[in-house]
Amino acid sequence: MPMRRIELSLPTVHCAACIAAVERQLSNRPDVFGARVNLTLKRVSITAADVPEIEDVLIAELDSLGYPAKPLDSAVLAMAEGDKAGRDLLARLGVAGFAMMNVMLLSISVWAGAEGYTRDLMHWISAAIALPAVAFAGYPFYKSAWSALSRGRLNMDVPISLAILLASAVSLFETIKSGDHAYFDAALSLTFFLLIGRYLDYKTRATARSAASELAALEVQKARRVTDDGEETVPLDALREGDILVVAPGERLPADGVVTWGDSELDPSMLTGETLPQSVGQGSIVRAGMLNIAGPLKIRAEGLGEETLLKQITRLVETAETTRNKYTSLAEKAANIYAPAVHLLSLLAFLGWGFATGDWRLAINIAAAVLIITCPCALGLAVPAVLAAASGRLFAQGVLLKDGVSLERLAEIDTVVFDKTGTLTTGKPALVNADEIPIETREYAAALAQHSAHPLSKAIARAFSSTLDIEDIREHPGFGTSGRLNGVELRLGRADWCGATSATQTAVWLKVGNAPPRAFLFEDEIRPEAHETVKALKAAGLSVHLLSGDVPAAAEAIAKAAGISHWTAQASPAEKVDALNALAAQGHKVLMVGDGLNDAAALAAAHVSMSPASAVDASRSSADMIIISNDLSEVAKAHKIAVASKRRIIENFSIAAIYNLISVPLALAGFATPLMAALAMSASSITVSLNAMRIGRMK
């Protein structure tokens, strides 16, 4: 019976009892072959018979059980949620900007000396515009501040929210009492400038995606299982250990297992990073995710679901991502110091003026002025403004920055670790002994290679041409290609199949009749910019390492060509993570540059990571930066920009500190009018933004 996978949203599930009830009810149905509830995502994955309207039937079943369900398209949902967040911030920014400009226009008459009813009218109109705008536009700050306070801690949004709310409350109180000054314009300008910073920060993070979720796309969704009646196509969760599976050429293996029938070659590069196909036959161990590139195979499933190597890599990535997310950014460090200091200053101003004068109305006004003028507007823009300028500069050079914090981490590195295949090299084998091969031998090899899909045969066909008319050409999966010329047998393929001893490097052998076999030697071609990139990184004071899953001879050759003295070969995904953790334990901060699925966990585990655009999806998602130009020299250039960006961030913090050293005494002394507060905040914010823009003019 044909089957299909169905995903349904279950928004009301909330406990283990809910999971058990849903899974039991669905599993009791004869047309359901498996059901699994994910409590975190509040959804259920169902393997059911592929019959008309089965989805509607299952939704009705869940509704009758008391769990309303609806169809779910995860990709569309994620895209919609991301777009909604951006539109929401942009809408709040627009409201704050519109309200700020109108209130400032109304404030001009008050600043010019309007008194009595005119001043009160301007204040009341300002209140009518400002209060709804502040309530709507400032919501992201209020929500974040409440979240921090409810957990017994402070963040930068606490003084921001307090300043906005206190400025609005004091302004409303002064308006009711016909006071001389109101802070509506200051509250709105504060909200506006901080929303600019928040939106810039959002845009730099918008492209970041979880690498662990991308790995799911590499899994085979269905498999062909051998039955007593022939073959049947089933979803992965319907497989059981011991099932015999059929894998045709061009298909990926659905499970870990052992080959029970057939000879072929598998492309292991997605999992191991090795350049060359792996020959397999009866008894060979194979892994889920490998691509079958030659003949049909039958395998006995021995590792399913969470037990496959692919899932083990997923878990490594998830663990590494969780660990790296504990990084404390410069903005967070500044907030930890700044937030308590601002509150303490404001409280001291309130108590000092209150007890000194006995005029608590004056005291609350001065406390509000202190909170407004010291509120971290410049600090709120210090990091996002630099990140926006740096990400624009990097993008122009061909590097996509996915996460703003990663720019800070890149500036801190002292070690760079490169993967080999596809990173330092092109990932395409090149013939290296062409000049040593006789012309007649070249023609024999080219004539056979033209009829093979093997990567090394394709390289020979690109290097040589032939007009020979070879007869009886046959491809032998896992071994090579054979044919006959004038009654003489020709073979092009593996060393043992051609009667040769294996070479010390990658090779294909040609045997003509009874003549000794001839070797065609290959190397993975190094990127032309690799050596200069390594040289530039060393000049910047960084240590450079090579960490490869390939054989020692290949790794050593590329390391020598690139100028790298520290290299490791035949490293599994877990061993790559262990190597990075060992460097971290020694106090090193590592940049990992890789492109294969076997690098995904290492990319997530490193202090910061980069991946070329040619990398697999999971590696691009793990990496903090994508080299969209595929030019390796951008690694050194990006590091230089990161160092400059961190310097600009520190300069912006210094500008904010100098601003506070000047403005705080004025506010504490009672000289900070609303006009002064608005002008001071605007001046500091513009100065910080102009300083950040200097990154775009770097040579």
Q: Could you tell me which residue, 381 or 473, shows the higher pLDDT?
A: 473
pLDDT of residue 99: 92
8 A C-beta contact, residue 410 and residue 591:
yes
pLDDT tier, 78 (very low <50, low <70, confident <90, very high otherwise) = very low
% of the chain at pLDDT higher than 90: 17
| Mean pLDDT on 233-238 | 81
For residue 195, pLDDT over 80 is answered with: yes
| Mean pLDDT on 239-248 | 90
Domain CATH number, residue 434:
3.40.1110.10
- Residue 455 counted as domain residue: yes
- Report residue 50: phi and psi, to 5°: -85, 80
Residues in the chain: 699
Domain boundary among 72, 99, 131: 72
Q: Could you tell me which residue, 83 or 305, shows the higher pLDDT?
A: 305
pLDDT of residue 7: 79
Least confident range of 10-19, 332-341, 439-448, 578-587: 332-341
Same-domain pairing of 433 and 419: no
Q: How far apart are CA 517 and CA 166, in angstroms?
A: 87
For residue 83, pLDDT over 60 is answered with: no
For residue 214, pLDDT over 70 is answered with: no
For residue 200, pLDDT over 60 is answered with: yes
Same-domain pairing of 591 and 483: no
Same-domain pairing of 504 and 636: no
For residue 330, pLDDT over 80 is answered with: no
Q: How far apart are CA 527 and CA 534, in angstroms?
A: 12
Per the structure, the complete domain to which residue 617 belongs is given by 399-426+527-644
Total domains, the chain: 3
Q: Could you tell me which residue, 595 or 340, shows the higher pLDDT?
A: 595
The beta strand positions in 162-248, using DSSP E, are 222-227, 230-235, 244-247
Same-domain pairing of 628 and 587: yes
- Residue 388 counted as domain residue: no
- Residue 677 counted as domain residue: no
Domain boundary among 38, 72, 106: 72
pLDDT of residue 375: 58
How many CB atoms are located within 10 Å of the residue 287 CB?
Answer: 19
pLDDT of residue 203: 64
pLDDT, mean over the chain: 80
pLDDT tier, 565 (very low <50, low <70, confident <90, very high otherwise) = very high
pLDDT tier, 377 (very low <50, low <70, confident <90, very high otherwise) = low
pLDDT tier, 325 (very low <50, low <70, confident <90, very high otherwise) = very low
- Residue 564 counted as domain residue: yes
Domain CATH number, residue 628:
3.40.50.1000
Summarize pLDDT for 571-607 with one digit per residue, the tens: 878 888 899 999 999 999 999 998 876 787 888 888 9
CA geometry: angle 547, 549, 553, nearest 5 deg: 85
Same-domain pairing of 454 and 470: yes
| Mean pLDDT on 296-315 | 76
For residue 337, pLDDT over 50 is answered with: yes
Same-domain pairing of 627 and 517: no
Summarize pLDDT for 642-651 with one digit per residue, the tens: 899 888 888 8
Summarize pLDDT for 113-154 with one digit per residue, the tens: 778 888 889 889 999 999 999 999 999 889 888 887 887 776
Same-domain pairing of 510 and 598: no
pLDDT of residue 346: 78
Same-domain pairing of 514 and 580: no
Least confident range of 28-37, 375-384, 647-656: 375-384
| Mean pLDDT on 430-437 | 86
- List residues with catalytic annotation: 419
Same-domain pairing of 490 and 576: no
pLDDT of residue 327: 47
pLDDT of residue 434: 87
Task: Write down the pTM of the prediction.
Answer: 0.59
- Residue 596 counted as domain residue: yes
Same-domain pairing of 542 and 465: no
Buried b (16+ CB within 10 A) or exposed e, 259-280: beebbbbbbbbbbbbbbbbbbb
- Residue 366 counted as domain residue: no
For residue 462, pLDDT over 60 is answered with: yes
- Residue 215, SS3 per DSSP: helix
Q: How far apart are CA 129 and CA 123, in angstroms?
A: 10
Q: How far apart are CA 386 and CA 380, in angstroms?
A: 11
pLDDT of residue 276: 63
pLDDT tier, 664 (very low <50, low <70, confident <90, very high otherwise) = confident
| Mean pLDDT on 97-107 | 87
Domain boundary among 47, 72, 97: 72
For residue 87, pLDDT over 60 is answered with: yes
Alpha-carbon distances of 52 from 36, 232, 234, 614, rounded to whole Å: 22, 20, 18, 41
| Mean pLDDT on 466-493 | 87
For residue 73, pLDDT over 50 is answered with: no
Among the listed residues 181, 203, 199, 165, the one whose alpha carbon sits nearest the alpha carbon of residue 95: 199
For residue 259, pLDDT over 90 is answered with: yes
- Residue 103 counted as domain residue: no
Summarize pLDDT for 264-275 with one digit per residue, the tens: 888 766 555 555
For residue 559, pLDDT over 70 is answered with: yes
pLDDT tier, 414 (very low <50, low <70, confident <90, very high otherwise) = very high
Q: How far apart are CA 586 and CA 568, in angstroms?
A: 18
pLDDT tier, 316 (very low <50, low <70, confident <90, very high otherwise) = low
Same-domain pairing of 640 and 541: yes
- CA 384, distance to chain mean position in Å, is 19
Task: Using the structure block, give the residue that is written with the tokens 């960006």.
Answer: 645
pLDDT tier, 334 (very low <50, low <70, confident <90, very high otherwise) = low
Same-domain pairing of 508 and 533: no
pLDDT of residue 77: 45
pLDDT of residue 269: 61
Task: Using the structure block, give the residue that is written with the tokens 């004091």.
Answer: 170
pLDDT tier, 218 (very low <50, low <70, confident <90, very high otherwise) = very low
For residue 171, pLDDT over 90 is answered with: no
Domain CATH number, residue 19:
3.30.70.100
Q: Which two tokens stand for residue 306?
A: 């969470």
pLDDT of residue 124: 93
pLDDT of residue 639: 93
- CA 266, distance to chain mean position in Å, is 29
- Residue 129 counted as domain residue: no
How many CB atoms are located within 10 Å of the residue 121 CB?
Answer: 13
